[in-house]
Amino acid sequence: MKIYDTLTAEKREFIPLHEGRVGMYVCGPTTYDYAHIGHARPAIIFDMLRRFFEYKGYDVVLISNITDVDDKIINRAKEKDAEPIEMAHYYAREYLKDMDALRVRRANIIPKATRHIEEIIELVKTLVNKGYAYESGGDVYFSVEKFRDYGKLSHRKPEEMLAGARVEVSDKKRNPLDFALWKAAKPGEPSWMSPWGPGRPGWHIECSAMSMNYLGPTLDIHGGGADLIFPHHENEIAQSEAASGKVFARYWMHVGLVRFEEEKMSKSIGNVFLIRDLLKKYPPEAVRIMYINAHYRKPFDFSEKNLEDSRKLMEKIWSVYLSLKKSARCGVATDNTKNLVDKTRKEIITALEDDFNTREAIRHYLEFINKVRDAKDEDAFLAIEFLEEMDYIFDILPRGTTENLEENLIKLLLRIRERARKNKDFGTADWIREELKKLGIKVEDTKDGPRWVKL
RNA sequence: GGGCAGGUGGCAGAGAGGUUAUGCGCGGGACUGCAGAUCCCGUCUACUCGGGUUCGAAUCCCGACCUGCCCUCCA
């Protein structure tokens, strides 16, 4: 397995710290609003990566945090006249609901910053004691010049950063690039007691504290959106490695940003599509397919047309899958199909092992779909088995069990409709089809009778 | 100003020195009460530009132009 590592800027063979195990940490959102499809991309990609490791037999521990105390949260809460932490927790729950809807499996641990204040304070203390950090007016700052490797992840030198950039100037900082590990609380802000007075953690420190707490000083894969490379991940490296003296993450993976009309999708620009709104119109599997169908490191141009195309792809996959199900019979498949399955499996795994190239993988998947669409009996059975095997990773097939009653009622309606059609009562026939469509059930007439798909 | 990705057919988007990407769309046919789906056939000199390397480049090298992201909160 090769993984593109942002730090070394090349694809490298993936070798976990402990054989057979993978420790992953993925930066989750700061929850001060509902999640948009930009958030869904890393969540879906890392979810599938985790499933792929498991598929290959690794034990995976995935930690994905939620930032529940931060300037943005405090400001938003002020606007809404809400209690900041409470509000953050509300949006955190809603975030998880949205991700559940997208079939993103939950991380093993979803830590929150406010639940790890002690570890954070300990880490800051260590950095102060080691001389990497200093207290200044109730704040604690990390001293960038003390960490000689600062800039290695984002491939920048500290001098260059100052050149054309706007850096927040503060007379509390010794160097404008220094960043806050601990912030003194202003009146009315959430705060915790610390050796430097009441305050709260800086943005970057929580991830260092929590990842080292759960995965040890060195983790295998650290991931997140590409916008986190600088300053967030750069600062995490500085803090963590300064404190532990060890390599913080062996591989850094960054998912390309989602854009809309050539611009980054971002709350501050206002061009966001909320996941909950999109899911009213499109099935979650279509969203997954949309992201599978693009290389994870490239920026992704979102549009409804794009989602619509993905939905069509999904319908194609589903319709082949469902028709295979109808003609499948348990037994031994022909060599032809066996070979096709083995070949496709190999192609898909090879693609995913090449820096998780889901785009290439789905191409082979679709070629397979096209070739087996007419398979019968034992061949259909094997094809289904294979698609379901792959679904451990992709999770895009229709969810199996419709409630029996529901299913029987639909069949009953379709029989009524068939009777109407036979009597040339097309008004009634079309009306039933229309009404079912409104309920999310698509009906298609085929030579073998009506077929329906629940969207 | 600096760092990093890219520029592929009507559109979306892979690939990566010589072999069909794929999907959508579009045209024709089969099927059909209609719609849809499906099948068959077809569709567009596709690879930003200019040089170079090579028997051969969309794919490698040099240069130019263009776009986006990051350098400030952001998945």
In order along its 455 residues, chain A shows pLDDT tens digits of 888 888 888 888 899 999 999 999 999 999 999 999 899 999 999 999 999 999 999 999 999 999 999 999 999 999 999 999 999 999 999 999 999 999 999 999 999 999 999 999 999 999 999 999 999 999 999 999 899 899 899 888 888 777 555 555 567 888 888 999 999 998 889 999 999 999 999 999 999 999 999 999 999 999 999 989 988 999 999 999 999 999 999 999 999 888 877 677 776 666 788 999 888 888 898 899 989 888 898 888 888 888 888 888 888 888 888 888 878 888 898 888 898 898 889 888 988 998 898 888 888 888 888 888 888 888 889 999 999 999 999 999 887 655 566 777 888 898 889 889 888 899 999 999 988 888 888 888 877 778 887 76
Cα separation of A161 and A176, whole Å?
10
Cα separation of A21 and A56, whole Å?
11
C1'-nearest nucleotide to the CA of A33: B74
Give whole-number Cα distances, A279 to A98, A172, A194, A246, in Å: 9, 46, 44, 43
| Distance in Å, residue A318 CA to nucleotide B37 C1' | 12
| Distance in Å, residue A367 CA to nucleotide B21 C1' | 10
- pLDDT for A50: 95
- What is the dihedral angle through the alpha carbons of A309, A455, A316, A425, rounded to the nearest 10 degrees? -110
- What is the dihedral angle through the alpha carbons of A113, A119, A121, A126, rounded to the nearest 10 degrees? -140
Strand B–CB A202 distance below 7 A: no
Cα separation of A182 and A121, whole Å?
8
CB A453 within 8 A of CB A433: no
> Which residues from 338-367 of A have any strand B atom under 7 Å from their CB?
357, 359-360, 363, 366-367
CB A177 within 8 A of CB A160: no
Strand B–CB A140 distance below 7 A: no
Q: Nucleotides on strand B with an atom closer than 7 A to protein CB?
A: 1-6, 11-15, 21-25, 31-39, 67-75
- pLDDT for A267: 67
> Which residues from 108-127 of A have any strand B atom under 7 Å from their CB?
none
| Distance in Å, residue A444 CA to nucleotide B32 C1' | 12
Residue A60 carries which side chain, given as an amino acid letter? V
Strand B–CB A255 distance below 7 A: yes
Query: Which domains, and CATH codes, for chain A?
Result: 2-280 (3.40.50.620), 309-394 (1.20.120), 400-454 (no CATH)
Strand B–CB A422 distance below 7 A: no
Which residues have a Cβ under 8 Å from the Cβ of A71 and sit 6 or more positions away? none
* The pair of three-digit structure tokens given for residue A266, joined into one six-digit string: 């971002």
Global pTM? 0.89
For the stretch A135-138, contacts whose Cβ atoms lie closer than 8 Å and that sit 24 or more positions apart, written own/partner, are A135/A196, A136/A172, A136/A173, A136/A174, A137/A172, A137/A184, A138/A184, A138/A196, A138/A197, A138/A199
